[in-house]
């Protein structure tokens, strides 16, 4: 204890003494105070200062000059330091050093001799290299960065010449290693300052790919600097050459890949405890991976982070964002449920909104989503008040989705009107939000308020400038529901003009259906043929890289097209053609409810329908058709038919065919008033029936 303190005291006294008496230099077992030397330097008398050093410490010319330079540098006289360094021919000194060091092959016999030689030469090398390094630093401080970079580079070149087998781990002078490490770290910075980006890039690679015996922290700093440079500089230079490639190892091909690789390596160093945790690295990595849409990889990285670096709710939130961004919504929701638990952060607005959004996409989760959205609305206060509209929108979407699975009519209409109320409140806050306008259009359309739906569909096209396909489709569908087929046709044609061929599928399908509704059968068949060609071309050219511009809902599957054609042919009573189409469809997907349903001829119909229903218990068209077939089998079957049709209506209350057949059942059973009601419902719905279900565009 006391020894420690006295040692510290001694150190402090030394420092004080140095401050009063000036600096001291130790060399060759000698020591001198630099006061006299510095005085001579101040007079501008370099030679005398030099000779004072040489005499006092028995140094040679270069050593004395190097020392003088360092003295000046340390005193902040960078220009003077430069003048001193300019007086030494450093390159010559390096040349002299090379043979004496490099040519000696390590032999067991002369080991002790070589070692001592190494020690001496390393000492000299250290002095010379430090001198060049300080020269580079001086130039940098004077703003001559390009020259500085050249000097700094010559340090590294010299090191490579002197130690052409790489710097030995042991037996190396720590001062020499310090200088080398600093030069390795400084060089890319200098090139960047000089605006020479390709040189900076190769300096970074040289730093990281050659053996400089850098310590972990220094290496990590360089790796981070390089990765940041790669990620943000916007300078694309050639990727690392294949020469450095080891068989089977991963070589990045562009800036982004190289940056991500380096950040991942840094992350691993953190959890191996090799370097200190640097929170900026995960943020850089997050940015890079989000740009690549690879947020699931990000989630994996976050999962690997040791506990203690992140607050757990923070980690869950980031993970949820990552998984949700990668389309793994349920995983995201599980994480959000944890972070929204009442003991964690139940009021976190972003988590609430994301949870509500995920729930709004699944009718079975919608009720849960309603809760999140309501909590979000309550918490959207103060500076977060701008998010209140988002909360209202989510509430509206969740309610609308919940309405679809509600068990009673009363419940359904209550939920639907609440959904609309909520969306209306949202649009009052965010009148420019195009997504919201679209949601309103769809909600109103599903509610069969076609005038309002039309208004929003038009507004959506206006605010998006017609840039979103689903906007055109909504408008055309609403028009078709109003039986304004020719206008719908005009909209579809306009949309086709605004769409690249590759993405025209859904529009062509609509066009074909529109033609069918207008009884333009030949044109409809023509359109279907065109669509079929497109779909088949798409299927053939779907490489892994092709699929991105088309999201799932923009694609038309071939199976659907065959079905449409089959429908068309069967309505024309071309049974053979219809059968062929169905055969094609069946070849694509065996045992689909739809195919079985279409193939159902009177004799086999029922069996086929039942099979279809077994495959997909909530397939409404089959329920209706079984109901229809049963209702023709005599009065005993009528109650069964009625149950099936009511069930179909529970799932799809706006299905006019179900109402129609239910009316027939009521009539045959003698309930004329009920039958009249149902007929009326069916005919009203027929007047507002779109050619495709509104939900097909969401």
Q: Which residues 644-673 are close enough to bind another protein by CB under 8 A?
A: none
Q: Of residues 337, 466, 520, 577, which one binds another protein by CB under 8 A? A: 466
Question: Do 631 and 637 form a contact (C-beta atoms < 8 A)?
Answer: yes
Q: Of residues 546, 607, 618, 633, which one binds another protein by CB under 8 A? A: 546
| Tokens 């998006």, located at residue | 464
Q: Of residues 61, 502, 530, 679, which one binds another protein by CB under 8 A? A: 502
Please state the closest distance from residue 326 (CB atom) to another protein, in A.
8
Please state the closest distance from residue 79 (CB atom) to another protein, in A.
18
Query: 432 or 590: whose CB is closer to another protein?
Result: 432
Please state the closest distance from residue 74 (CB atom) to another protein, in A.
6
Going by C-alpha positions, the residue among 267, 268, 235 that lies closest to residue 254 is 235
Please state the closest distance from residue 290 (CB atom) to another protein, in A.
4
The answer to whether 482 contacts another protein (rule: CB under 8 A) is no
The answer to whether 426 contacts another protein (rule: CB under 8 A) is no
The answer to whether 632 contacts another protein (rule: CB under 8 A) is no
Question: Do 399 and 370 form a contact (C-beta atoms < 8 A)?
Answer: yes
Q: Of residues 354, 478, 532, 622, which one binds another protein by CB under 8 A? A: 354
Show contacts with another protein in window 135-164 (CB under 8 A): 137
3-state SS track over 330-397: HHHHHHHHHHCCCCCCCCCHHHHHHHHHHHCCCCCCHHHHHHHHHHHHHHCCHHHHHHHHHHHHHHHH
Please state the closest distance from residue 620 (CB atom) to another protein, in A.
31
Query: 473 or 563: whose CB is closer to another protein?
Result: 473
Please state the closest distance from residue 57 (CB atom) to another protein, in A.
7
H-helix segments, 574-655: 575-588, 593-599, 602-615, 620-631, 638-651
The kind and range of the H/E element at 24 are strand 24-27
Tokens representing 461 are 């096209």
382: left (phi > 0), else alpha (psi -120 to 50), else beta?
Answer: left
Q: Of residues 107, 112, 249, 407, which one binds another protein by CB under 8 A? A: 249
The answer to whether 80 contacts another protein (rule: CB under 8 A) is no
Q: Of residues 145, 390, 649, 675, which one binds another protein by CB under 8 A? A: 390
Contact range with another protein by CB under 8 A, out of 19-27, 398-406, 561-569, 589-597: 19-27
Query: 281 or 593: whose CB is closer to another protein?
Result: 281
The answer to whether 437 contacts another protein (rule: CB under 8 A) is no
The answer to whether 268 contacts another protein (rule: CB under 8 A) is yes
Please state the closest distance from residue 25 (CB atom) to another protein, in A.
5
The answer to whether 28 contacts another protein (rule: CB under 8 A) is yes
Query: 19 or 170: whose CB is closer to another protein?
Result: 19
The helix/strand/coil state of 30 is: strand
The answer to whether 442 contacts another protein (rule: CB under 8 A) is no
Q: Of residues 9, 232, 271, 542, which one binds another protein by CB under 8 A? A: 232
Please state the closest distance from residue 683 (CB atom) to another protein, in A.
37
3-state SS track over 637-668: HHHHHHHHHHHHHHHCCCCHHHHHHHHHHHHH
For 446, other C-beta atoms within 10 Å of its C-beta total 20
Contact range with another protein by CB under 8 A, out of 85-93, 281-289, 577-585, 598-606: 281-289
Contact range with another protein by CB under 8 A, out of 335-343, 408-416, 539-547, 610-618: 539-547
Terminal CA-CA length for the chain: 76
Going by C-alpha positions, the residue among 639, 636, 570, 577 that lies closest to residue 605 is 570
Please state the closest distance from residue 343 (CB atom) to another protein, in A.
18
Question: Do 130 and 74 form a contact (C-beta atoms < 8 A)?
Answer: no
The answer to whether 306 contacts another protein (rule: CB under 8 A) is no
Contact range with another protein by CB under 8 A, out of 99-107, 231-239, 515-523, 638-646: 231-239
Query: 63 or 147: whose CB is closer to another protein?
Result: 63
Question: Do 59 and 28 form a contact (C-beta atoms < 8 A)?
Answer: yes
Please state the closest distance from residue 249 (CB atom) to another protein, in A.
4
How far is 504 from 380, CA to CA, in rounded Å? Answer: 41
Which residues are CB-contacts of 669 (< 8 A; sequence separation ≥ 6)? 635, 638, 642
For 334, other C-beta atoms within 10 Å of its C-beta total 14
Show contacts with another protein in window 164-223 (CB under 8 A): 178, 182, 185-186, 189, 192, 197-198, 208-209, 218, 221, 223
Count of residues near another protein by CB under 8 A: 128
Q: Which residues of 245-265 are buried (b: 16+ CB within 10 A; e: fewer)?
A: eeeeeeeeeebbbbbbbbbbe
Show contacts with another protein in window 584-623 (CB under 8 A): none
Going by C-alpha positions, the residue among 39, 99, 116 that lies closest to residue 75 is 39
Going by C-alpha positions, the residue among 338, 6, 291, 582 that lies closest to residue 574 is 582
Q: Of residues 321, 415, 593, 596, which one binds another protein by CB under 8 A? A: 321
Q: Of residues 264, 359, 532, 681, which one binds another protein by CB under 8 A? A: 264
Q: Of residues 36, 117, 251, 698, which one binds another protein by CB under 8 A? A: 251
Query: 23 or 448: whose CB is closer to another protein?
Result: 23
Question: Do 518 and 485 form a contact (C-beta atoms < 8 A)?
Answer: yes
DSSP state letter for 502: G
Q: Of residues 88, 134, 525, 644, which one binds another protein by CB under 8 A? A: 134
Q: Of residues 71, 207, 366, 514, which one binds another protein by CB under 8 A? A: 71
Tokens representing 379 are 């918490």
């Amino acid at each position: 204890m006391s020894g420690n303190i006295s040692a510290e005291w001694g150190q402090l006294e030394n420092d004080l003494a140095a401050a009063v008496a000036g600096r001291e230099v130790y060399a060759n077992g000698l020591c001198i105070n630099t006061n006299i030397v510095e005085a001579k330097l101040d007079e501008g008398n370099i030679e005398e200062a030099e000779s004072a050093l040489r005499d006092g410490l028995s140094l040679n010319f270069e050593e004395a000059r190097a020392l003088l330079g360092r003295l000046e540098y340390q005193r902040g006289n960078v220009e003077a330091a430069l003048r001193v360094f300019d007086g030494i021919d450093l390159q010559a000194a390096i040349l002299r050093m090379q043979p004496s060091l490099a040519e000696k092959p390590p032999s067991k016999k002369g080991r002790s001799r070589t070692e001592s030689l190494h020690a001496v030469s390393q000492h000299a090398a250290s002095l010379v290299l430090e001198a060049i390094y300080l020269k580079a630093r001086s130039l940098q401080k004077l703003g001559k960065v390009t020259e500085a970079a050249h000097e700094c580079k010559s340090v590294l070149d010299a090191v490579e010449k002197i130690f052409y087998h790489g710097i030995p781990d042991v037996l190396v002078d720590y001062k020499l290693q310090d200088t080398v490490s600093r030069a390795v770290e400084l060089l890319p910075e200098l090139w960047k300052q000089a605006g020479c980006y390709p040189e900076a890039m190769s300096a970074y690679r040289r730093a990281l790919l050659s053996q400089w015996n850098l310590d972990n922290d220094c290496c990590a700093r360089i790796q981070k600097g390089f990765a940041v440079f790669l990620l943000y500089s916007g300078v694309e230079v050639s990727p690392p050459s294949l020469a450095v490639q080891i068989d089977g190892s991963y070589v990045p091909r562009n800036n982004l890949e190289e940056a991500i690789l380096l950040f991942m390596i840094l992350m691993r160093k953190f959890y191996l405890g090799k370097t200190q945790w640097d929170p900026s690295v995960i943020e850089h990595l997050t940015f890079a991976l989000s740009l690549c849409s690879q947020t699931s990889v990000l989630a994996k990285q976050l999962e690997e982070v040791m506990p203690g670096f992140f607050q757990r709710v923070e980690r869950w939130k980031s993970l949820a964002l990552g998984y949700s961004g990668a389309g793994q919504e349920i995983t995201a929701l599980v994480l959000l449920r944890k972070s929204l638990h009442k003991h964690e952060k139940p009021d976190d607005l972003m988590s609430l909104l994301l949870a509500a959004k995920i729930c709004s996409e699944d009718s079975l989760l919608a009720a849960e989503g309603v809760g999140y959205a309501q909590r979000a609305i309550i918490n959207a206060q103060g500076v977060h008040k701008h998010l209140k509209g988002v909360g209202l929108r989510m509430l509206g979407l969740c309610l609308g989705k919940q309405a679809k699975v509600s068990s009673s009519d009363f419940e359904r209409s209550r939920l639907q009107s609440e959904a609309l109320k909520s969306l209306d409140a949202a649009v009052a806050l965010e009148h420019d939000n195009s997504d919201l306008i679209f949601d309103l259009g769809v909600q109103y359309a599903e509610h069969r308020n076609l005038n309002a739906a039309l208004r929003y569909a038009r507004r959506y096209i206006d605010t998006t400038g017609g840039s979103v396909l689903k906007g055109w489709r909504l408008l055309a569908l609403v028009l078709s529901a109003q039986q304004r087929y020719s206008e719908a046709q005009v909209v579809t044609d306009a949309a086709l003009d605004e769409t690249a061929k590759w993405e025209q599928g859904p529009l062509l399908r609509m066009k074909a259906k529109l033609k069918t509704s207008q009884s333009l059968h030949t044109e409809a068949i023509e359109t279907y043929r065109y669509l079929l060609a497109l779909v088949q071309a798409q299927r053939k050219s779907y490489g892994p890289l092709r699929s991105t511009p088309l999201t799932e809902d923009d694609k038309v599957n071939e199976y659907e097209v065959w079905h449409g054609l089959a429908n068309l042919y069967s309505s024309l009573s071309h049974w053979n053609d219809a059968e062929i189409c169905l055969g094609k469809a069946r070849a694509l997907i065996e045992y689909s409810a739809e195919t079985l349903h279409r193939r159902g001829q009177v004799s086999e119909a029922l069996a086929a329908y039942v099979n279809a229903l077994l495959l997909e218990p909530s397939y409404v068209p089959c329920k209706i058709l079984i109901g229809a077939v049963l209702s023709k089998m005599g009065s005993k079957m009528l109650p069964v038919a009625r149950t099936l049709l009511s069930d179909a209506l529970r799932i799809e209350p706006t299905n006019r065919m179900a109402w129609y057949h239910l009316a027939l059942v009521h009539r045959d059973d003698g309930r004329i008033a009920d039958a009249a009601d149902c007929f009326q419902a069916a005919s009203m719905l027929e007047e507002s029936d779109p050619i495709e279900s509104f939900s097909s565009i969401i």
